[in-house]
Structure 1
Amino acid sequence: MSGRRRARGGAPPPSLYTHQPDRATVVRVSTDRRRVFEESAPVDRLTSIPDYYEEDPLTNAVFESSDFGYDLGDDSLAAEEQGPDTDGISVQRGKAKRYTNSDLPFQTWVKYRDEYLDEMLRLEGRGGPEISSACAACGSTAPEYRCENQTCHGPAMFCQDCIVERHQVLPTHWIQRWTGEYFERVSLAKLGLVVQLGHTLGSSCPAMQRGRFKFTVIDVNGVHNVAVQFCACDSTVEHRQQLMRVCWWPATALDPSTCATLGVLRLFQNLNCLAKVSSFHFLRSLELLTNADGLNPLPNRRRAFIHIVRQHRMMLMMKRAGRGHSPLGIEGTGQGELALLCRACPQDGKNLPVGWSRINWEAMPQDLRYKYFTFLAADANFRLINRDVSNETRDPVIDDGLGYFGNREQYKAYLRDHVDEEEISTCSGFQAMFLADAKRGKGLRTTGVGGVTCARHNMWRPNGIGDLQRGERYCNMDFILFSAILNSVILYLILSYDIACQYSKKFWDRMKGLPDAMHINPETTSVWFKVPNFHILGHKWPCHSPFSFHWMWGAGMTNGEDVEQNWEFTNGAAGSTKMMGPGGRHAFLEGLFAFHNWMRTVSYRKVLSQRLVRDLKEGRKHKEAFEAFTAVIEAEQPELVTRWKAWVKEWESEQHTEGHASPFEVSKPIKSLKEIRLQLGKDELTRTGEGVEIERQYTSSTFVALGLDIEDTQRTLAVDVKATTDPSPSQELELLTRKSSLLRRVNRFRNMQRVYMPELARFLPAAQRDILEDRRRPVETMKLFMPSELGNDIREKVCERGLTTIEEEMREAELDDTLEDLRGALRVRSGTNRFCNRNVRGQRGLTRGQGVLRQVEIRIHKAKLRYRYARNAILRIRGHGAWEKVYKVLADEDVRGINERAWSAEEEAERERLRGLGEILEGGVEAAGIVAAGEGSHTMSWIWYKTKLGDSDTEIIDALRVEWCKAYSRTHRWHEDIVLIEEEMRRTIEFGVWMGAEWERRAVARGVASPALAEGLRAYAKEHVQREEVTGRRLRKQWGGLRLKAAAYLEGIQDVGPSIVVNVDGEERDEEDEEGDVAGEEVFDGGEEDGLLQDADDV
């Protein structure tokens, strides 16, 4: 603030650079970016940069101030008071309970360090005569044994017979023996413990058969040698069965000598799927628990453990899918039957009304059809590569096509006939098209994985995964997609794909080359192609309207990007799967996808409710703004609204391609910043000669582009922070999330800056170096030190060759983009002001109109700040010149519409007074009505000289048309999302009802002779029945209030029922994490009452 106040007072700020002679160590990066050199050299005297303070005082004052901020010395944006919620929904951030020691735990603990150390050492001894004098069981004197870590009997000491007796059911505990001076570890096997299998505890077997000499059992506390005796009384019970009945999983089916307990397998399952701990490191950690000093080498059981894990995972999927309850057994498992289905997606016969597929779609209102849309997202991941090690003979794929992977044999047969098809891209520069043929493949069995998920809930589809051999080719993705919808009844398929604009071409023709069983009928199934919201920004502008979710009826707030979060979850396992054989990798990924789907299923309870809360709040806000906007237009020219609405409905009712006139677009003849970036990238591609355009993500143009993007985000965030006082918990959470996301981008920029500006820290003066190294500043005020922010001498020394030129070109394009945005916003404001002044009367109408205008004013304000900063950057690079006649200094009085005049001195003084009271005022005076007295002296602002001017009303109406059509679609998308989420809640509950009935049926489906097996089958089924009932009750209770609110909103009722409170996590979370609860951290807060996670097998 101090810099801004000095600027207004007329005193120029101090020079940006001051001379500090010194010697410094310089870190230099080699031209190939592979080596780093350090050398000591004197720091030359630095000359100050040209003083442009008088040219742009507002921008430069803040730019050179230590209180740097992206609001750039402009105090015109005042905060808006936040009113209380009126929708009856309160968002409450969970806060951890505070205790006396919770704030400074280590400062409290540090005083007791000696005490803690003494207690640890005390445990190394026997604990005193009251413990060591007699056996805790029989009372005999001088006991010598205790359980290590005192996990089962506390600090008690026992004689040998008693310690063995008490561990007959705990054979994998470690025992310590007192030597007279210290404790040494001994195994229970050496003390005489023998595990008798096949009989009840304490019984002996008259026909016992001793197991292997070094029978190994892997448990959670280490690797153990256990003495085992098998029962030979009943020859029909094999050794492997006897081991399984004591929860020991044998490594081999014949003559086993190595086992793992079910406890250690469950632990590894969680660590492996969630933390991506490999089997090697997990077993290695158990070996260190057993033999930390290496004096007693253990037998290598790694291969045996891998076999056990693989078998366990396969059987676990069979068990969960109810294959053990089926009379047909495992051999009767159908394609994709082992995969967990998405409960919120439409599932025929499970959560949809009876006879839904026979609905007369022509008679059904269009605004209800989208409830039955199937949203899918397709994408590829090039991290999950697999080297060409082992083969399918030595490591075969078992249960092919029964889970998440499609049938491999059919897949290979199809690819052999289509591998040489040529694919042409005319649009996007994403990896999918550029790397289809160029992707590295030498020494690899697969170059990645393609997958299909439900686009709204992140669930992997059955048979929706397939390996890629030569990049992301159409033939691969076609087979994967049609496998994912095999045996599904789909009437409307909405496919999200980052290259959908290209993939949609000849889609039905390519389907004909697939096996007949995979075909869908184009007469009964409509397929719409969309590009995810983030990816579409990288497409050419003709693709934006036809393939955007924003302008599609029934899409709701679907963004199509959720599949990227799924890849983030699986990428942690890429290092492990890279060197696996085909069968092991297949089984591992099947287990990983199953784990992910289960965690997503568990997260429904909170994710869906949080989405519905968001939709109700945002939907009401957008609806009110749109109605106010529409009212002022209808009051002037109601036929415009009728015509625009018909155009939007016509556009949204069908899938468009390039070339169709869109109601959401206006022409932009000026070369955009994105086009400048693309040209720079192509120039760098020519210089590198690599021939793979995707490499431009590592070039200097990308570095500069990232800096410009960060600056824009900082400005937007700074304005939003300033415009929000006393934020609600949900607003505060949103700001924290945005700051966290921005901070990560700034850190990434700093890492790139060390490459392209390696000597920056050396040549900066001390004051500026402190700003560079200060990590405590608010992220929206962090100074990036782009080339334009440096003096000419410093810029030449610290910047890579050509870096300044790149920024100069990008800044000029940024000026054009910003002026176009500013003019568009001013057109909207001018038209809205005119309609309001002529037609709106009454306090309510004026208040609602001001709410709309405030949003437009903020947009104008942001464009003004962006232009000022970009112009200032070019001025620092180029200096004064003829270019200033085109890109002039943008003063406050220049920010006005075509039909607005500048403020008079008296009006300017009044405007400053209103600003002090919290008003946002941008631009000039409306040249109509009472303020038309100055019409004779009206002059047009220079910002309009760079655009082609026709009839001003036509331009305004065109701008209003685009804004109205977008507002119309946005309002309907929020409305649709409420309908979709309410339906998804209903489907989730109904799926649970169906699943409970299915397990009830399975409980008696298989007739078996063994009473023990029959009881186990029934118990497992009944457990699932009970869990589904409890889950259903919980969901009905938790979602009941929200669903009532949603119904009231959809019926147009302002409010209904009592106020409800929705809890959200209190910690700061990434934007991606709202849907990324695959770890389950949001869902384990209900205890056993949830009925959601009571079976250890489920995790």
Structure 2
Amino acid sequence: MRGKFEFIGGGACLFEDLEWAYSFVIEFFLWLWEVEIGGVKPKVKRRHVGWNSHSIELYANTTDIPPAHRRHHHHSWLFAGPSTGSLSVKHGFVRLPVSPRKRKTMATGNFQDLPDFIPGSDDIKDQDSFTPHEEYHLDPDAYALAIAGDVDDIATAPRRRIYMYNPLLTFSSRIDEYVAESLRREGRGDAILQNSCSACEDTDFCFRCITCRDARLFCRICIISLHTACPTHVIQSWNGNYFDKVPLRKLGMRYQVGHLAGEVCPHPQPAFGNHFTIIDTNGIHDVALDFCSCMRKRPFAMQLQGSWLFLATDTQPRTAVTTAALEQFQMLTFMGKISAYEYYHSLVRLTDNTGITAPSDNFDTFIHVVREWSFIRLLKRAGIGNDRGRWKAVEPGSCAVECLTCPRPGVNIPDSVDPDSPHAWEHTLYVGMDANFHLERFNVSSEEKDPGLSKGLAYFVDTKTFHKHLADFDKRIIQPPSSCSNHEAAKGDKRGSIRTRDLAASGVGGVVCTRHELKLPLCTVDLRVGETQVEMDFGYLTAVKRFTGVPRIVTSYDIACQWSINLEERINIYGDFMRPKIPKKVYLVPKFHLPGHIKDCQEKYCMSFHIHVGENDGEAPERSWAISNGVAASTREMGPGHRRKKLDQHFGDFNWHKNVSQGDMLLCKIKDAVPKASDHEDRFEHFSASLPQSDVVKWTKMVEDWEVDRNKPNPFARTVASKTEAAMRLQLAREDAQDELVGLDGDALHTTSPKGMISQGIQLESSQRRISRLNKELGVHSTDLQRAQILEKSNRLRRSVESWFVVQEVHMPTTMVRAESRLRIAQGYDLLHTIRSQLLSLSKAYKDGDTNVLTQKERLKSHKTTRDLNARITQAKQYYRDVQKRLTILSTELGEWGWQAQLRVLEDSDVRRIADDEVGISEGNRSMSWIWYSSHLGDVPGGVQECLRIEWCKARARAHRWREECKLLKVEMDRVKRTLEYEANRWLSRAKSAAEGVALINASEGAGAYAKRQAAIRTSIRLSFEDKWRFVEQWLELGETGEASASNEENLITE
């Protein structure tokens, strides 16, 4: 029985379900409470006066429909009364079964095994009454759509975007008001009604502070007392006509450092020359500053730091920069890549944009302050002063921000991992190296004049050690000529280049982790005049030898085919101290750079073909360089020390940003990888099932042997010689000659069997299509001979068709329908075979045209061959579609439709070469057309057999790489949590030992507080990551069962 409720004229509600009645009563009283207490009267359109009625019919038998969403958006309407004639609306959330229009869509899914969705806080309309379900899903936003009842609508049709509000339209209607208010603030505004100072009764009041955003007016004494600790605030004075800027110094204020704000030093010492400049975020200010010289006296620099001011020199200091300005500049240069010159001169213009009273030039001082403060900040964040003592004893690379995800023995993986264990590959270190010639440095300054402070503490290697390495091995390492393509990177030394003649460094070389894009500690070297092996070796070996205990390393380099050949020999020359203690090493070429290599390198160094690599493209260095190149314009003008420090800062910020983004990044990756892994595994299984089992077994053994021993035959490499263009033209001519033989005389027809008659009729159809194609190829200027030849062929064919009609009348009873159906099915398979063969020939013709240098005559022949092949493919494609239509008609009579599983509908997108590169599709996401793994392949030529083997190996590699990616992502998530827990515990241990590490008295509390805050930050990050990843296990289980396929990803997880 159906349940039914409706709103009727008398206001009564009829229910057949007590639960619905109870819900309605609760909703009604909540609405009545809001109307009576809050005066809620939503606006609605008055379309009719009086009552309207509508009803919603519900299914009584809910066993056949999917379960209801927990809460649905519900509108309650109430007539306000005959006096007003208006309607009021109340919005609420009630339980509802699935609506009839969605029943068909939702009944197709398996809802019992799918997790519920979880709403996000921004999407919940009624947060006070909302209670989340006990099970949630990976993405919180999709559940809000389920509340609104739109999840299935999204799966069937996109929602139309509605623009409800345009801020500019509202603003344009009130521009005059905004202008008037802006002008009103130029005057005294509301303060014009004041009769005395806002803080006292003094009638001499004319000062206000715009930095405090306070429009009240104060007297001179009160404005000074309010800004005892704020000497850089901008004060304005009303002169009777307008407000004029006046510094606090002119008002008589003196800023005391070395004491708490408000305290008076018994022995103040004025700054040198009684003038002191403070650079703040709102400008450059001249301040009357007093140092402390009483018994609490400390060095000038320490007194200023106590007031969050930092200066460049402790000898007669005259300029300081606020910590707020330093932090602001650092963040702006990280995000906007602005230079110190741009920031400083922005402050100059902010102070006086007319240039009349411009402040004195303190740009050089600002540069020194920035360098010193950033170095102190680097040491502070690395834990210097807590557990490491003096900064000169710090270990190399210890100030770098290390990757949370990469394997680190003793931190997130065991101290030693057996490299031969089945799961050892999960702790592989994936790194990539590359050179960047945008980060060059002009031949200005020198190491003696600008040595820098952070020598080997972060990302750049120690300069002295690097220069000694070059002096010892530069002449001993001979870089052989390239055996691959003419790569610029493989040429190495370019001392004679005009471009590098005036450069102290032509660029930098670096190493990053390719899965997470973070710079490795001690990975960056300055390149002198090219990308030489002796330079790149030092950066690579110095970076990876820190990972002693890692069982395996995969290194990608755009010239790995040349660089890795003699690497072990070069390490023997350098010495064992440079040898990384990593048992297994693999060298590959990044995917984007791979097409630039020769065919042998593409098959040997492809990342998609190697086991235990996952879906890693190896192009992380290129992406990280793209971020760093923003500072190239400023760093090329710097001295060596300043440039290294600047780049170390940007590398560190880049690493930190990547680390705190690991939660979202890994979640997005696993959301994408799980359905793709299931999809590619299904495709591979289907492909394997369509092939002869003997071939699958043979190919499986071949690829497994190659994965173990790279000296075995490469299953991805082509061994069968391709057909030449002359052979292809000969084959086409023979096919034409075979068609010419199709002719039937009357006597032969009368002796033809019924099944032979059908076969000959199909041959006549093929001849008709061939003559039609030849007729279309006739141009406007075709010769009489060409037209005569086609006419003769048409006449012969017409006579044969007329003769065939005679036999048709004899041999066409209804019992021949099944025989024609069998012949049409065989014809469909033959046409698929024809399409495949022509596509293989077309692929060879295209490749020859791309790789070989052809003369004009050869090019014309090649063009004619490809044109003929395309025409034959088009003809076969259309013929196949006609055959399928005829099969559909015949199957309607017979009721036999089994052929549809193999002879599918042929779309234009399905007719593509076996290894055709789809536009915008990478190797890891590519799929092969169904025409290549359709059953009944029969005896295929050796070239086709080899193509099928290569594509089968590629399909297997795609399935395995995506499954490896899923496993790697789960392992990486676990490593991130262990790393954050390790770092939090390390900071807590530093907090306990703070008293022993600090250099100043009474600084132990601050050192302990800083260490505890850093530990709390790591703990908060770990908890936030765990919250984001709480349903990853469930998502992986869905992937294992095949329910997390790409086809329903949009319904399951909504970005």
**C-alpha separation between the residues in 1 aligned to 2:887 and 2:1050?**
45
Contact 1:101 1:108 in 2 (8 A): no
**C-alpha separation between the residues in 2 aligned to 1:661 and 1:882?**
34
* Counterpart for residue 171 of structure 2: 109
* Counterpart for residue 540 of structure 2: 481
* Counterpart for residue 332 of structure 2: 271
Select which of 262, 266, 271 maps to 1:211.
271
Pairing of 1:1060-1099 with structure 2 (within 5 A): none
* Counterpart for residue 289 of structure 2: 228
* Counterpart for residue 402 of structure 1: 457
Pairing of 1:407-486 with structure 2 (within 5 A): 407-420=462-475, 421-434=478-491, 436-437=493-494, 439=497, 440-486=499-545
**C-alpha separation between the residues in 2 aligned to 1:90 and 1:629?**
32
Contact 2:674 2:1044 in 1 (8 A): no
Q: Say whether 1:120 aligns with 2:198.
A: no
* Counterpart for residue 660 of structure 2: 602
Equivalent position SS for 1:887: helix
* Counterpart for residue 787 of structure 2: none
Give the aligned residue type for 1:958: E
Render the CA deviation track for 1:807-832: whole Å, top value 9, x for unaligned.
Answer: xxxxxxxxxxxxxxxxxxxxxxxxxx
Select which of 1009, 1013, 1016 maps to 1:1023.
1013
Pairing of 1:989-1004 with structure 2 (within 5 A): 989-1004=977-992
The RMSD of aligned alpha carbons is 4.1
Equivalent position SS for 2:285: strand
Select which of 629, 632, 646 maps to 1:588.
646
Render the CA deviation track for 1:530-572: whole Å, top value 9, x for unaligned.
Answer: 0000100110110012101101110000110011110000001
* Counterpart for residue 387 of structure 1: 442
Equivalent position SS for 1:344: coil
Question: Whose RCO is larger (CA < 8 A, sep 6+)?
Answer: 1
Equivalent position SS for 1:1022: helix
CA displacement at 1:583 relative to structure 2: 1.2
**C-alpha separation between the residues in 1 aligned to 2:983 and 2:909?**
62
Distance 1:590 1:907, change over 3 A: closer
Give the aligned residue type for 1:250: L
**C-alpha separation between the residues in 1 aligned to 2:910 and 2:510?**
54
Q: Say whether 1:542 aligns with 2:579.
A: no
**C-alpha separation between the residues in 1 aligned to 2:1025 and 2:199?**
51
Q: Say whether 1:349 aligns with 2:349.
A: no
Q: Say whether 1:175 aligns with 2:235.
A: yes
CA displacement at 1:922 relative to structure 2: 6.3
Select which of 336, 340, 347 maps to 1:286.
347
Equivalent position SS for 1:376: strand
Q: Say whether 1:1035 aligns with 2:1014.
A: no
**C-alpha separation between the residues in 1 aligned to 2:888 and 2:493?**
59
* Counterpart for residue 691 of structure 1: none
Q: Say whether 1:625 aligns with 2:683.
A: yes
Q: Say whether 1:964 aligns with 2:938.
A: no
Identity percentage over the alignment?
A: 29
* Counterpart for residue 514 of structure 1: 574
**C-alpha separation between the residues in 1 aligned to 2:662 and 2:909?**
48
**C-alpha separation between the residues in 1 aligned to 2:961 and 2:908?**
31
Larger Rg: 2
CA displacement at 1:1005 relative to structure 2: 1.9
**C-alpha separation between the residues in 1 aligned to 2:542 and 2:519?**
12
**C-alpha separation between the residues in 1 aligned to 2:989 and 2:1007?**
11
**C-alpha separation between the residues in 1 aligned to 2:182 and 2:383?**
49
Contact 1:479 1:514 in 2 (8 A): no
Equivalent position SS for 1:417: helix
CA displacement at 1:631 relative to structure 2: 2.2
CA displacement at 1:232 relative to structure 2: 1.0
**C-alpha separation between the residues in 2 aligned to 1:131 and 1:654?**
91
CA displacement at 1:217 relative to structure 2: 0.6
* Counterpart for residue 306 of structure 1: 367
Distance 1:180 1:1054, change over 3 A: closer
* Counterpart for residue 962 of structure 2: 974
Select which of 716, 722, 736 maps to 1:663.
716
* Counterpart for residue 818 of structure 2: none
CA displacement at 1:214 relative to structure 2: 2.2
Contact 1:230 1:242 in 2 (8 A): yes
Equivalent position SS for 1:268: helix
Distance 1:441 1:127, change over 3 A: same
CA displacement at 1:1012 relative to structure 2: 3.7
Select which of 590, 596, 612 maps to 1:532.
590
CA displacement at 1:128 relative to structure 2: 4.4
**C-alpha separation between the residues in 1 aligned to 2:694 and 2:589?**
33
Select which of 198, 205, 213 maps to 1:136.
198
**C-alpha separation between the residues in 2 aligned to 1:99 and 1:205?**
66
Select which of 214, 222, 225 maps to 1:165.
225
* Counterpart for residue 825 of structure 1: none
Q: Mind listing any 5+ residue stretches in structure 2 that lack a counterpart?
A: 1-104, 116-136, 146-158, 726-828, 851-855, 891-899, 912-931, 933-937
Give the aligned residue type for 1:969: A
**C-alpha separation between the residues in 2 aligned to 1:924 and 1:109?**
53
* Counterpart for residue 751 of structure 1: none
**C-alpha separation between the residues in 2 aligned to 1:432 and 1:884?**
36
Q: Out of 325-334 and 337-346, give the one that drifted further.
A: 325-334
**C-alpha separation between the residues in 2 aligned to 1:668 and 1:981?**
41
**C-alpha separation between the residues in 1 aligned to 2:325 and 2:439?**
27
* Counterpart for residue 247 of structure 2: 187
Distance 1:912 1:413, change over 3 A: farther
Contact 2:590 2:606 in 1 (8 A): yes
**C-alpha separation between the residues in 2 aligned to 1:327 and 1:883?**
72
Contact 2:433 2:540 in 1 (8 A): yes
Contact 1:429 1:538 in 2 (8 A): no
Select which of 495, 498, 507 maps to 2:558.
498
Distance 1:881 1:596, change over 3 A: closer
* Counterpart for residue 886 of structure 1: 865
**C-alpha separation between the residues in 2 aligned to 1:570 and 1:1053?**
42
Distance 1:884 1:622, change over 3 A: closer
Pairing of 1:864-903 with structure 2 (within 5 A): 885-889=864-868, 894=873, 902-903=879-880
Distance 1:632 1:197, change over 3 A: same
Contact 2:277 2:287 in 1 (8 A): yes
Render the CA deviation track for 1:630-662: whole Å, top value 9, x for unaligned.
Answer: 2232xxx32322221121122223456xx9533
Pairing of 1:1002-1013 with structure 2 (within 5 A): 1002-1008=990-996, 1012-1013=1002-1003
Equivalent position SS for 1:472: coil
CA displacement at 1:668 relative to structure 2: 6.7
Give the aligned residue type for 2:652: A
**C-alpha separation between the residues in 1 aligned to 2:593 and 2:388?**
48
CA displacement at 1:955 relative to structure 2: 3.5
Select which of 601, 617, 630 maps to 1:572.
630
Equivalent position SS for 2:457: coil
Q: Say whether 1:920 aligns with 2:906.
A: yes
CA displacement at 1:1062 relative to structure 2: 8.3
